[in-house]
Chains A and B, each alone.
Chain A
Amino acid sequence: DVKVTQSSRYLVKRTGEKVFLECVQDMDHENMFWYRQDPGLGLRLIYFSYDVKMKEKGDIPEGYSVSREKKERFSLILESASTNQTSMYLCASSNDRDTFYEQYFGPGTRLTVT
Chain B
Amino acid sequence: GEDVEQSLFLSVREGDSSVINCTYTDSSSTYLYWYKQEPGAGLQLLTYIFSNMDMKQDQRLTVLLNKKDKHLSLRIADTQTGDSAIYFCAGLGPGGSYIPTFGRGTSLIVHP
Contact = CB atoms under 8 A, between A and B. Distances in A.
A48 B99 CA distance: 9
A33 B97 CA distance: 14
Interface string A47-85: 010100000000000000000000000000000000000
A26 interface: no
Contacts of A43: 43, 88, 102, 105
Interface residue tally of chain A, by bracket?
A: 20 to 34
B111 to A, nearest CB: 21
Q: Lowest 9 A-B CB distances belong to which pairs?
A: A105-B42, A42-B104, A43-B102, A105-B43, A101-B98, A102-B45, A107-B42, A42-B105, A106-B42
Interface of B: 8, 31, 33, 35, 40-45, 48, 50, 88, 92, 98-100, 102-105
Interface of A: 4, 31, 33, 40-43, 45, 48, 50, 90, 92, 94, 96, 100-103, 105-108
